[in-house]
């Protein structure tokens, strides 16, 4: 099974965990290089990777947020102040001027890999 969120062949991938380690609708944090990455698996098996830093509170907490959807878009709500961030674009749906980074993510032979470069 391969789930890809990036098509660039030259991307450097870092293995972070087994696909089965990610529970649906729950987030986990992985340290990839110097980046804290919040990883999410949705009920339909799709994977998303965004920065773990909540720009409103300044805390590294987005991986602990509430996963859901808003108008059909997968989101995570910050556990601090409940702002909703798109898992697709990283844009805050409550304040579109604010966004968190998104990262390419894929599954290769059962291993979740993320790229930060």
Can you give the length of the chain in residues?
117
Confidence check: pLDDT of 52 > 90: yes
pLDDT band for position 11 (50/70/90)? confident
pLDDT band for position 93 (50/70/90)? very high
pTM of the model: 0.89
Please tell me the distance from the alpha carbon of residue 97 to that of residue 104, in angstroms, as a whole number: 22
Of 16, 27, 19, give the one whose Cα is nearest residue 54. Answer: 27
Proportion of the chain in helix, strand, coil states, percent, rounded to 5: 5, 45, 50
Average pLDDT rounded to a whole number, residues 88-104:
98
Q: What's the pLDDT score for residue 9? A: 58
Above pLDDT 90, what percent of the chain?
Answer: 90
Q: What's the pLDDT score for residue 46? A: 97
Please tell me the distance from the alpha carbon of residue 88 to that of residue 71, in angstroms, as a whole number: 13
Q: What's the pLDDT score for residue 43? A: 93
pLDDT band for position 1 (50/70/90)? very low
């Amino acid at each position: 099974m391969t789930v890809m969120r990036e098509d660039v062949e030259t991307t450097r991938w870092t293995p972070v965990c087994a696909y089965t380690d990610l529970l649906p609708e729950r987030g986990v944090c992985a340290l990839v290089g110097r980046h804290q990455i919040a990883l999410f698996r949705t009920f339909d098996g799709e994977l998303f990777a965004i920065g773990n830093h909540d720009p409103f509170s300044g805390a590294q907490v987005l991986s602990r947020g509430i996963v859901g959807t808003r108008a059909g878009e997968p989101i995570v709500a910050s556990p601090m102040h409940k702002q909703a961030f798109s898992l697709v674009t990283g844009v805050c749906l409550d304040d579109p001027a604010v966004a968190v980074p998104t990262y390419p993510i894929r599954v290769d032979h059962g291993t979740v890999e993320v790229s930060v470069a």
